[in-house]
Amino acid sequence: MRRAIGTAILSICFATASLAADEPYIAAGKRMAEANCANCHNIAPGGAFKLYPPSFQAIAIYMDPDVIRMKVMYPDHAVIMPQFHTFMFVENLDNIVGYIQSLDK
């Protein structure tokens, strides 16, 4: 029993440390989203679930991170969304996806 409790405590500590290490990337992703996505998408935590365009909260809950990456870089609605694949760096994409995923917590 003590071993299980100790393992649980260690897991929580490592998860917290991992989240803390990701915070600068999540903050950078939020800034990118504010600059590039907020005109159309609701990017705030707890954003209303709507179909078009979906809130980042809905995206976080219902989409796999790899699907999010593809939809950002090569959107289905190419006429409406910016063509990010022409100018976005992988690091920026990872930051935005990290921010979106942080909303699922």
For 83-101, write each residue's pLDDT tens digit: 777 777 888 889 999 999 9
CATH number at residue 75: 1.10.760.10
| Residue 13, domain member (yes or no) | no
| Residue 46, domain member (yes or no) | yes
Q: How many domains does the chain have?
A: 1
For 20-66, write each residue's pLDDT tens digit: 457 888 999 999 899 988 988 999 988 777 778 889 999 999 899 99
Specify the length of the chain in residues: 105
| Structure confidence at residue 89 (pLDDT) | 81
| Structure confidence at residue 31 (pLDDT) | 92
Strands (E), the chain: none
What sign does the CA torsion over 57, 62, 66, 69 have? negative
Across residues 62-76, what is the average pLDDT? 88
| Residue 7, domain member (yes or no) | no
Band (pLDDT 50/70/90 cuts) for residue 102 is very high
